[in-house]
Chains A and B, each alone.
Chain A
């Protein structure tokens, strides 16, 4: 029984690792206009204007903003869309 218990625990940890969320991060660049970045956040991420502006300002002042977290496939799709708008965006796995 105890051995089964150990195996179960290891499997759970593996599943946890696979399920760790992926972050979509947008990075600052000197070219994209602030109003343009805000519009892209509204369109791609469905943010209301005030939230889009908050993230745009975070990119501008702090150099990056985490704009979305979740499953890998969706994260990749979002980064692809952001690249389509020529924003600097990356996908990063959240840390344990």
Chain B
């Protein structure tokens, strides 16, 4: 898989392996599975020890804003991956420059969701052996590492 600037205002991934293409396509869906990751994606601003009024206000006013922000990011990514594999140009994905932040955000949502769903520990994530792809847990680790790799590439692009 190669990543490069395609034009003044866009970036592209080329030569995407079909497995990674499938992970890109499912990214918005994975990122939306907030159910088991609520506490991490919408953390308590007081850390559980501050004033209850702030927590209530946060839930009422801030959380809806965050939900909108996260949904907007996922929607942008979903639009970008729509043509993947069906654009007549092989496995190529074009990311508009003004979608880079949305990608970073959606990738983070997805990684947090996967970690919470699988209850991965820090040592699980730091484990450097290739994951066992025959298991659901191993495949989940692969997804986390692939999404992290993509984040690193995008961070270099963002500068």
B residues in contact with A29, CB < 8 Å: 40
The answer, among B45, B65, B122, B148, for a CB contact under 8 Å with A79, is: B45
A33 close to B62 (CB less than 8 A) = no
B46 close to A90 (CB less than 8 A) = yes
By beta carbon, the residue of chain B nearest A88 is B43
Judged by DSSP, the binding face of A is mixed
A91 close to B108 (CB less than 8 A) = no
B residues in contact with A92, CB < 8 Å: 46-47, 50
A residues in contact with B40, CB < 8 Å: 29, 88
A35 close to B152 (CB less than 8 A) = yes
A residues in contact with B151, CB < 8 Å: 33, 36
Known: A30-B125, A31-B115, A91-B46. A86 touches B105 (CB 8 A): yes
Interface membership of A51, Cβ < 8 A: no
A39 close to B47 (CB less than 8 A) = no
Chain A residues bordering chain B, tally (CB within 8 A): 23
Question: What 1/0 flags go to A5-17 for Cβ under 8 Å of B?
Answer: 0000000000000
CA distance A80 to B62 in the complex (A): 7
By beta carbon, the residue of chain A nearest B112 is A31
Interface membership of A58, Cβ < 8 A: no
CA distance A83 to B120 in the complex (A): 21
A residues in contact with B111, CB < 8 Å: 31
A residues in contact with B89, CB < 8 Å: none
Interface positions of B from 80 to 110, Cβ below 8 Å from A: 104-105, 108-109
A83 close to B62 (CB less than 8 A) = yes
The answer, among A32, A76, A86, for a CB contact under 8 Å with B45, is: A76
Interface membership of B1, Cβ < 8 A: no
List 25 A-B residue pairs with CB atoms under 8 Å apart, sorted by A's residue number. A25-B47, A29-B40, A30-B115, A30-B125, A31-B112, A31-B125, A33-B148, A33-B151, A33-B152, A35-B152, A36-B104, A36-B155, A79-B45, A80-B62, A83-B42, A85-B108, A88-B40, A88-B43, A89-B43, A90-B45, A90-B50, A91-B45, A91-B54, A92-B46, A92-B47
Interface residues of chain A, those whose CB is within 8 Å of chain B, are 25, 27, 29-33, 35-36, 39, 76, 79-80, 83-86, 88-93
Extra inter-chain contacts (4) besides given A83-B66, A88-B43, CB under 8 Å: A30-B121, A33-B155, A90-B46, A92-B46
